[in-house]
Amino acid sequence: AQTVTQSQPEMSVQEAETVTLSCTYDTSESDYYLFWYKQPPSRQMILVIRQEAYKQQNATENRFSVNFQKAAKSFSLKISDSQLGDAAMYFCAYKIDDNDMRFGAGTRLTVKP
Amino acid sequence: GAVVSQHPSRVICKSGTSVKIECRSLDFQATTMFWYRQFPKQSLMLMATSNEGSKATYEQGVEKDKFLINHASLTLSTLTVTSAHPEDSSFYICSARDSGQHEQFFGPGTRLTVL
């Protein structure tokens, strides 16, 4: 079974600083997809960034980037120039082909002004 | 991105009644829809997966007779919580995906409170 582990229940960052959220996963597959979702207090799930396992290049979306280490099965999210609006729960997720998405336990990010 | 709506956003019901939650894909055809349950301060737990026109596939431990899922069209799936009890109180989230696509689009969720 595939599992997704987020070892940081809570993280805190100063506004304008950089923070990294960690995620590891367990799989025997070679082709899969990884995602980071943000869930603000509204509870709406918002896709932050996605990574295809076959791509070696790390995905980047503006202030958000990932460090994808396939051999280590690690998929961390780096948020640069943190903003107050970045405060939310962040979920790492894993998916194979047409199968459903599996989520980690989440990391609550607090941004201090 | 594509839009998925859920209705109602909040519902309060008495114990023993049934509640229906609708999930609609507004601008794409959702060949597959997923229903998740999220308890406070916890992650999303998959309850079931439904493909249009087929019976839903339920995750282990999820009672199919209690959580009825219907996916009769490419834009609508419904989750009916039958004979609801206080322990069914939770946040229910649906997501939808088009055929051949890898990204799932999430609805805004429905908060169910059973008194």
| Confidence check: pLDDT of B56 > 70 | yes
Q: DSSP letter at A30?
A: S
Q: Which token pair is B12?
A: 């309060």
Round to whole Å and give the CA distance between A113 and A74.
30
Contact (Cβ atoms closer than 8 angstroms) between residue A37 and residue A91: yes
Contact A104 B43 (CB under 8 A): yes
Report which secondary-structure segment, H or E, holds A77. strand A74-79
Q: DSSP letter at B26?
A: S
Q: What per-residue confidence (pLDDT) applies to B72? A: 83
User: Is residue A1 packed enough to be buried (19+ CB in 10 Å), middle (13-18) or exposed (0-12)?
Assistant: exposed
- Name residue, tokens 């998959």: B46
pLDDT tens figures, B79-101:
999 999 999 999 999 999 987 77
Contact B49 A50 (CB under 8 A): no
pLDDT tens figures, A89-99:
999 999 987 77
Provide the 10 A C-beta neighbour count for residue B49.
21
Most B CBs within 10 A among A98, A102, A108, hence the mutation to make, goes to A98
Q: What are the backbone dihedrals phi and psi of residue A51, each rounded to the nearest 5 degrees, phi first?
A: -140, 130
Which residues 17-46 of A have a C-beta within 8 angstroms of B?
33, 37, 42-45
Show the low-confidence residues of chain A (pLDDT under 70): 1-2
The C-alpha of B9 sits at a distance from chain A's nearest C-alpha, in angstroms, of 11
pLDDT over 90, % of chain A: 85
- Name residue, tokens 């999303």: B44
Q: What per-residue confidence (pLDDT) applies to B1? A: 66
Read off the pLDDT band of B54 (50, 70, 90): confident
Contact B108 A104 (CB under 8 A): no
Q: What per-residue confidence (pLDDT) applies to B2? A: 84
The C-alpha of A11 sits at a distance from chain B's nearest C-alpha, in angstroms, of 15
Contact A101 B43 (CB under 8 A): no
Report which secondary-structure segment, H or E, holds B115. none
The C-alpha of B85 sits at a distance from chain A's nearest C-alpha, in angstroms, of 23
Most B CBs within 10 A among A38, A45, A109, hence the mutation to make, goes to A45
Report the mean per-residue pLDDT for chain B. Answer: 93
Contact B106 A44 (CB under 8 A): yes
Q: Which token pair is A13?
A: 């960052």
| Confidence check: pLDDT of B52 > 90 | no
Q: DSSP letter at A57?
A: S
Q: What per-residue confidence (pLDDT) applies to A2? A: 63
Contact A103 B43 (CB under 8 A): yes
